[in-house]
Amino acid sequence: MKTLTSGAAGLALAMVLPMSTAQADPLTTKQTNIYGVPGRLIDMPTAEVAPDAQLSTTVSIYGSGNNQTTRTTLSFQMLPRLNASFRYSAIGGLVPTPGRPTFTTLYDRSFDLSYRFLNEGKYHPAMSIGLRDFAGTNIYSGEYIVATKSFAQGKLALTAGLGWGRLGSYGSIGSTGTRKTGFLGQGGIPSYDRWFRGDVAAFGGLSYQPTEKLGFAVEYSSDAYDREVRDGALDHKSPWNFGVSYKASEALRFAAYSLYGDEIGASVTLTLNPRNPAVKGGLEPAPLPVAVRSAQSAADLGWSTDPARRASTTAQSQETLSALLEKEGISLHAMSMSGREAHVQIRNHRYDMRAQAFGRTARAMTRSLPASVETLTVTLMTQGVPSTAATFPRSDLERLENAPAQAMREATTLSDGRRFDTGLSYHEEALPRFEYSVSPFLRLSVFDPENPVRANAGVQAKAKYHFAPGWAVSGSVSQKLVGNLDKSSPPGASGLPRVRSNVAFYSRTDTPTIDHLTLAHYGRPAENIYSRVTAGYLERMYAGVSGEVLWKPVESRLGLGAEINYVQPRDFDQQFGLRSRNTGTGVIPEWNGHVSAYLDMGYGFHGQLDVGRYLAGDWGATVALDRVFANGWSIGAFATKTNVSSDTFGEGSFDKGLRITIPFAWGLGTANKRSSTTTLRSLTRDGGARLEVEDRLYERIRDTHDPQLSRGWGKFWR
């Protein structure tokens, strides 16, 4: 079995290699099977893939009463050939294993990976290798190698494969060594010691698409459902499963199944693709065109030589520009102008694609500044301090308005806005500024091992006061109205102080809570260096002081940062009080912090490494890898390993999770700076936990810097 296990290692390597976009392929499908992974069969895997970047959520259900099983699967086509899935299952009818926690319904998480190592050819099938439930409790664990060939213009697809684990449990034809039982550590660790070991069985199936909307499938399943049969959850009468599927729309599909001659099941699949926004290019209002100067007007410097005319022209230009920018969702922050040059600092409220904010501002400048001003510089302000500055020759704006955006990118010089941060006159509304908002909030805890969904809902009021350049006082107060987040019980004592595992206590209070109340200063101490100091009630659970520095040149792929925090735990009622650092299981250290490296690796992948001391005083590192799309979508995973053993950490062995960021602009079809990030993480434990501070530096400036800024340059002229 050496060759097969090295195949699995090859898969890990192939994950990081770039691959070209898949062409129209009859074995590409948006349909998923009962496990929620791409494929037109039922229980069995195929060599089919989803369109690149496809994200699907499948909820499937089979059985009834106490024996009902529900699987919710999030599946992502990470690369044209590589698919990763996360599944949360509620399995009914199983008898708890002696020595393990008891349950009536077993809530289980599982991860799958599949990699297509061979695309379909005229005479040969597509072939994939995959791991099902490859880490964790192994309840669904199985590995496979599968081949699928399409016929009749893709209407017919024939699949045959070999399976191990669950997929080798019915009608085995041989075996490759012995398969271990039990799992590594406290679960959650890839169970490489059992992959492709034990009994092997053959499986196969046929899917048929008579019309675009309708599909049928029949399969011979190599899964004997051993544990379910043993525990009396179901009868396995036949290895034959049947399915029918219906596509209600591009986004929505339904399927119904007949399973092992005894049960029926159904599923619903919702798909979306980061590459399919509501409207390509967006529907935000058209920009004002560039106003072209006449040849002789550009030479007229008369206004700048006479002090009186200079003052009135400058004031008038500033007023016109501010009014034009206001219509574009941009605030003029500060400005300076001489006979040949102008510099403006702007606060961009609208454009998620920062190149578009540059493009709109540059055009407004052509419509408001004296003709002699040839060099236009625009600085994006973030957190009250300058980030990227873009300098445009005005004649190039005139000349390239109807050329490809790339031509304008080549005519543009990017630099650190700090260089231009002198001699400015602030716009009257720039400082001080006061912002507030009142909105409902929803705090969710999903896919908990005890309960699929818990939530608190209520009202949240936020306010922020910018009183000097880079300085802000900010606060947020919430009132819970309904919720059951406090119902989760903290896990048993571990060898660590309770730094996060008692989070439920913080959801218990019915009085108003201060979510954060801080004084923050953002600064630019040197070229390419950004700084932050935040003091006060930093987050729901901790108060203290947090300091951060970041080195990130505008055009660099690499950023380096360091953060140090002094913390004291807050009272459970989240008002002004603090509580003892001694939690009964240990003492919460006052100091924690990290050094971080951020790298845009190209090909749309972004990596982050944080090394340091975590909240509980444990030392270790967090690795994160995200696929980042030019439009702001980001899908990735992270894992933290510290010097805490699996046994001390508890279930899951170490902290890990998935995160998805969806830019609102993608769903709304119009420019919008907001986005929403959802993190699915393993159980809240005390090992590998970090402080949550508002507005960490890198995330705030990343979109204003290259490479992400230039990736979105196509929107400069939009």
Give the footprint of other proteins on this chain (CB under 8 A): 249-252, 270-281, 283-292, 329, 331, 349-350, 353, 398, 401-406, 434-442, 629-631, 662, 664, 666-670, 672-674, 676, 678, 711-712, 714-715, 717-718
- Shortest approach of other proteins to residue 464 CB, angstroms? 8
Cβ at position 315, least distance to other proteins in Å:
23
Roughly how many angstroms between the first and final C-alpha of the chain, as a whole number?
Answer: 56
Q: How far is the CB of 448 from other proteins (least distance, A)?
A: 18
User: Minimum Å distance from CB 578 to other proteins?
Assistant: 30
d(CA 466, CA 382): 12
Closer residue to other proteins, CB minimum distance, 193 or 410: 410
- Environment class of residue 140 by beta-carbon count within 10 Å: exposed (0-12), middle (13-18) or buried (19+)? buried
Least distance (Å) between residue 287 CB and other proteins: 6
Q: By C-beta, is 8 or 709 nearer to other proteins?
A: 709
Q: Token digits for 111?
A: 């991860």
Report the distance separating Cα 109 and Cα 523, nearest Å: 43
Q: Which of residues 206 and 630 has its CB atom nearest to other proteins in the complex? A: 630
Q: How far is the CB of 209 from other proteins (least distance, A)?
A: 21
Tell me whether residue 162 or residue 405 sits nearer to other proteins (CB atom).
Answer: 405
61, 495, 549, 558, 690 from 621: Cα distances, Å:
38, 19, 19, 18, 11
CA dist 414 and 538 (Å) reads: 34
Contact present, 424 and 343 (Cβ < 8 Å): yes
The C-alpha atoms of residue 159 and residue 216 are separated, in whole angstroms, by 14
Nearest distance from residue 319's CB to other proteins, in Å? 18
Smallest gap from residue 714 Cβ to other proteins (A): 4
Length of the chain equals: 718
- Residue type at position 667: G
For the record, the structure tokens of 350 come out as 């609208």
**98 or 440, CB closer to other proteins?**
440
Alpha carbons 202 and 92: distance in angstroms, whole number: 27
**Closer residue to other proteins in complex, CB, 446/526:** 446
Q: How far is the CB of 378 from other proteins (least distance, A)?
A: 18
Q: What's the CA gap between 431 and 341, in Å, rounded?
A: 24
Name which of 471 and 664 has its Cβ closer to other proteins: 664
Name the E strands within 383-452: 385-393, 413-416, 425-426, 433-446
What is the rounded CA–CA span in Å between residue 327 and residue 335?
Answer: 18
Shortest distance, position 330 Cβ to other proteins, whole Å: 9
CA angle 412, 413, 418 (to 5 degrees): 135
DSSP 297: G
Evaluate the CA torsion angle 560, 609, 117, 110 in order and state its sign: negative
Report the candidate in 278, 350, 353 with the shortest Cα–Cα distance to residue 668. Answer: 278
Q: Nearest distance from residue 365's CB to other proteins, in Å?
A: 15
CB of 356 to other proteins, least distance (A): 9
Range 670-694 burial, b when 16+ CB lie within 10 A, else e: ebbbebeeeebbbbbbbbbbbbebb
- Kindly state the smallest distance separating residue 198's Cβ from other proteins, in Å: 39
Which of 45/282 has CB closer to other proteins? 282
Tally of CB atoms within 10 A around 191? 23
3-state secondary structure of 208: strand
Closer residue to other proteins (CB): 426 or 436: 436
DSSP assignment of 525-565: EETTEEEEEEEEE-SSSEEEEEEEEEE--TT-SEEEEEEEE
Residue 345 or 646 having the CB closest to other proteins: 345
DSSP 274: T
Sign of CA dihedral 178, 181, 185, 189: positive
CA distance 673 to 640: 30
Nearer to other proteins, 227 or 681 (CB): 681
Record the tokens describing residue 371, joined without a space.
């003709």
Least distance in Å: CB of 122 to other proteins?
21
């396995």: which residue's tokens? 236
Q: Of the two residues 258 and 366, which places its CB atom closer to other proteins in the complex? A: 366
Token code pair at residue 622: 């967090």
Residue 255 is inside which H or E element, if any?
Answer: strand 252-259
Please state, in angstroms and rounded to a whole number, the distance separating the CA atoms of residues 448 and 455.
11
Burial class (CB in 10 A: 0-12, 13-18, 19+), 110: buried
Residue 201 CB, shortest distance to other proteins, in Å, is: 36
Q: Give the containing element (helix H, strand E) for 108.
A: strand 105-118
Q: Which is nearer to other proteins, 500 or 718 (CB)?
A: 718
Between 440 and 525, CB nearer to other proteins: 440
For residue 460, the SS3 value is strand
- How near is the Cβ of 482 to other proteins at its closest, in Å? 15
* Beta carbon nearer to other proteins, 44 or 660: 660
Q: Residue 365 or 499: which CB sits closer to other proteins?
A: 365
Longest dimension (CA), the chain: 97
Tell me the closest approach of the beta carbon of residue 381 to other proteins, in angstroms: 13
For other proteins, the closer CB: 120 or 284: 284
